[in-house]
Amino acid sequence: IQAVKIYLYRKEYEKALRYFKSPYRSTYYYSGQSEVFSVAKELEVLYPEQILEFYKSSVGNLNVSTSRKIYTQNAVAVMRVRRVLVDIMKRIDEWKKYAVPIKSNNINRPAFQDEFSRVIPDWRSL
């Protein structure tokens, strides 16, 4: 990740973007405090489509019952998807198309709904 930061500093954005197109690195993605996401955030405006795909790949399995901690990590990952779709790309309909099935597939998991509504501002209104 240090090399990516150097690319960003040098404004070599295409080289930095290559990191996010490389194969899945699960050890980074499930760490909510990972530097990877802060670096990706810097590229959201320049490369929203590519970063959106990266964010979608970082979302864990949403179809299992698990701990609140994992629900929160997944909610943060889904929130990143929302930020790119709604705040950057202004695709509210696409956000709803992405989020509504997640919500409805997990409607009988109160802890899931609770954690997602804490992290994602419009979760309850979907």
pLDDT at 79 over 80: yes
As a residue count, the chain comes to 126
Domain ranges of the chain: 1-44, 59-126
Predicted confidence at residue 28, as pLDDT, reads 46
| DSSP tag of 83 | I
Average pLDDT over residues 50-69: 93
Predicted confidence at residue 17, as pLDDT, reads 86
24-30 long-range Cβ contacts below 8 angstroms, 24+ apart: 24/57, 28/1, 29/57, 29/58, 29/77, 30/60, 30/73
| DSSP tag of 5 | H
Stronger pLDDT, 3 or 92, i.e. the higher one: 92
Stronger pLDDT, 100 or 57, i.e. the higher one: 100
